Amino acid sequence: MSRGTLGALLLVLALVGCGGAVRESAADDVADDAADLVEQDWSRTAGQAKDGSDLAAAAAATFRLARLSSGVTALEALSWAGRTGTEEGAEVVLRITAHVDESNDGTFGSTVGASDAQRCYRFTVGANGNRHAHERESIACPSGATAGSPTFAPEEKLPADVQSRIERTLRRATPSSLQAEATAAFPRLAVSAGSDGRRLVLAVGTGPGGDCEVGVLEAAGDVSFPGGFPREWLMAGELGCSADLVLNPPL
């Protein structure tokens, strides 16, 4: 092997990690982690139909909460469109900028150099009628793109006839069709359906910590509307407005 070939091989080995791919910078990793955090936050309210502007605004709010403990210096919404739960779903393009200072990597006193990254991601959320579906693609940042100012849609409210609509939905549905029928009956609200083999349960709410109505269809054909759930159960990160309020309540 010639000296030049050996040198090239050593360079490749230095750049390629055990996984066989060229290692991204620490700042790239931070940007990817921020994108993960955005998706996790969206997932908490996936049962509720959202416009693209809602998702983009929520991403900006996620950044404001997380930026102090991460290397993310900017999270910007470049574009948004559509609505979750439709055939096309909602599409959001985010630009995430990150900086990581030089640090000791903990091995033999070596250091990891400072790095900067600017990454763009296209998210497709709630396509093919499935509000819980998420896809993310890393894309080249559009040249000259400026950040927009997405806003949340007005807060939804439970309709005055929510109980009668829940009852109608419960009576015409089966355990396998209840979620889809509830989504169609309440297209702008968060819905959660479930069954334990004896009961059908449908919860309809306005989102984490908001109003929540739960209907239960018993095997005998009676429909009841239990209430009085502790407010903390309805908050983000807890059960929320879910069929599990009846089927699997906290101990």
- pLDDT > 60? residue 17: no
Give the model confidence (pLDDT) of 211-229 as tens digits.
Answer: 999 999 999 999 999 989 9
Provide, rounded to the nearest whole percent, the portion of the chain with pLDDT above 70: 82
Q: Which of 51-60, 127-136, 163-172, 225-234 has the highest mean pLDDT?
A: 163-172
- pLDDT > 50? residue 92: yes
Give the C-alpha separation, 125 to 204, whole Å: 21
Closest of 144, 162, 237, 143 to residue 205, by C-alpha: 162
Whether residue 73 contacts residue 98, with contact meaning beta carbons closer than 8 Å, is answered with: yes
Three-state DSSP string of the chain: CCHHHHHHHHHHHHHECCCCCECCCHHHHHHHHHHHHHHHHHHCCCCCCCEHHHHHHHHHHHHHHHHHHCCEEEEEEEEEEEECCCCCCEEEEEEEEEEECCEECCCCCCEECCEEEEEEEEEEECCCCCCCCEEEEEECCCCCCCCCCCCCCCCCCCCCCHHHHHHHHHHHCCCCCHHHHHHHHCCCCEEEEEECCCCEEEEEECCCCCCEEEEEECCCCCEECCCCCCHHHHCCCCCCCCCHHHHCCCC
Provide, rounded to the nearest whole percent, the portion of the chain with pLDDT above 90: 42
- pLDDT > 70? residue 170: yes
Identify the residue whose tokens are 């009956």.
Answer: 185
Give the C-alpha separation, 144 to 165, whole Å: 49
